[in-house]
Chains A and B, each alone.
Chain A
Amino acid sequence: MTHWIGRVRVMPRAGLLDPQGHAVEHALGALGFDGVQRVRVGRTVEIALEAGSEPEVRDRLRQMCEKLVANPVTEDFTIDAVEAAP
């Protein structure tokens, strides 16, 4: 068994109102950052786990997201990175 670290990104589904993203967008404008076109706020979840292979890690991360880490009603998730733990 190998130790792995998986990074999962959970974002509000495109097209859905993201009030946090809007608030940050306005605040950036107020701070003088020009040209900001859109901000969306999501979260990254880092999961350290033991597994035999990278495909197995990805499969388990996907199951975790479907069951708990993301809500399929309003959120999309992507598995950003899977690395062997140092």
Chain B
Amino acid sequence: MRIAVVRFPGSNCDADALHAAELAGHQASFVWHRSADLAGADVVILPGGFSYGDYLRPGAIARFSPVMQAVTAHARAGGPVIGICNGFQILCEAHLLPGQLVRNEGLAFVCRPVTVRVESDATPFTSGYRVGQELRMPVAHGDGRYVADDATLDRLEADGRVVFRYVGNPNGALRDIAGIRNEEGNVVGMMPHPERAVESLLGSTDGLAMFRGLAIPAVVS
């Protein structure tokens, strides 16, 4: 698979995401946020960081970067897109996923390993896991509390679109939501960092299957 890792000014998990994709056997390259295309990539990763310094709201400015038109077109055509941390915030601001990530309940920046439970394997990124499996990977965010109105939350639950749930909620996210997907399943957003859990040296390899799983043909609508 050819994987594009989009770099915004302020991205800081871009190199880690590229490394994880390569470790899983993919051909990965960076795409600058001003690019009008995705250089023929099959899969898009919006990495973590602080695009545009989190000014206004995290992801609020990045969503208007030129590359986001190509990302949106890719997503609408069924192409796999994953937003990790700041990438998740950008996907919500871009309305590719519902809801929003707001300031952590405790106000503190939370940077530590957490446990998440896989709630959906019906995405190109989680097909390598089984539902109910618990994974260990780090979170590192100040604005990671997932919120949406009750109707949206009920719909996400009913449609099986909650992808990851915290076991021990670090930020006050409603219904312990750590990651969700769009209706079709090809767009996933998550606050924890699977790309920081791909080698035993990093303390966990639980995130690797997320990138390995992409070898399986993508779910295309």
A binds B: yes
Residues of chain B within 8 A (CB-CB) of A16 are: 147
Residues of chain A within 8 A (CB-CB) of B98 are: 73
Is A69's CB under 8 angstroms from B102's CB?
no
Residues of chain A within 8 A (CB-CB) of B93 are: 71
Per-position 1/0 for A1-37, Cβ under 8 A of B: 0000000000000001101100100000000000000
- Contacts A68-B60, A69-B56, A71-B93 given; indicate if A19 touches B103 (C-beta within 8 A): yes
Per-position 1/0 for B106-134, Cβ under 8 A of A: 11000000000000000000000000000
Q: How far is the CA of A74 from the CA of B174 in the complex (A)?
A: 13
* A residues 60-84 in Cβ contact with B at 8 Å: 68-69, 71, 73-74
How many contacts A-B (CB < 8 Å)? 29
- Residue of chain A at shortest CB distance from B59: A71
Q: How far is the CB of B95 from chain A (nearest CB, A)?
A: 10
Q: How far is the CA of A69 from the CA of B57 in the complex (A)?
A: 9
Is A68's CB under 8 angstroms from B104's CB?
no
Total contacting residues, chain A, CB less than 8 A: 10
Is A73's CB under 8 angstroms from B57's CB?
no
Residues of chain A within 8 A (CB-CB) of B64 are: 68
Per-position 1/0 for B71-103, Cβ under 8 A of A: 000000000000000000000110000111011
What range describes how many residues of B lie at the interface?
Answer: 10 to 19
Q: How far is the CA of A23 from the CA of B107 in the complex (A)?
A: 8
Is A74's CB under 8 angstroms from B100's CB?
yes
B148 at interface by CB-CB < 8 Å:
yes
- Contacts A71-B100, A74-B100 given; indicate if A19 touches B106 (C-beta within 8 A): yes
B172 at interface by CB-CB < 8 Å:
yes
Residues of chain B within 8 A (CB-CB) of A73 are: 92, 98-100, 147-149
Pick the contact of A17: B56, B92, B105 (CB < 8 A).
Answer: B105
* B residues 37-63 in Cβ contact with A at 8 Å: 56-57, 60
Is B148's CB under 8 angstroms from A71's CB?
no
Binding site for B on A (CB under 8 A): 16-17, 19-20, 23, 68-69, 71, 73-74
Binding site for A on B (CB under 8 A): 56-57, 60, 64, 92-93, 98-100, 102-107, 147-149, 172
14 additional A-B residue pairs with CB within 8 Å, beyond A19-B106, A71-B57, A71-B100? A17-B105, A17-B172, A19-B103, A19-B104, A20-B103, A20-B107, A23-B107, A68-B56, A68-B64, A69-B56, A71-B60, A73-B98, A73-B99, A74-B100
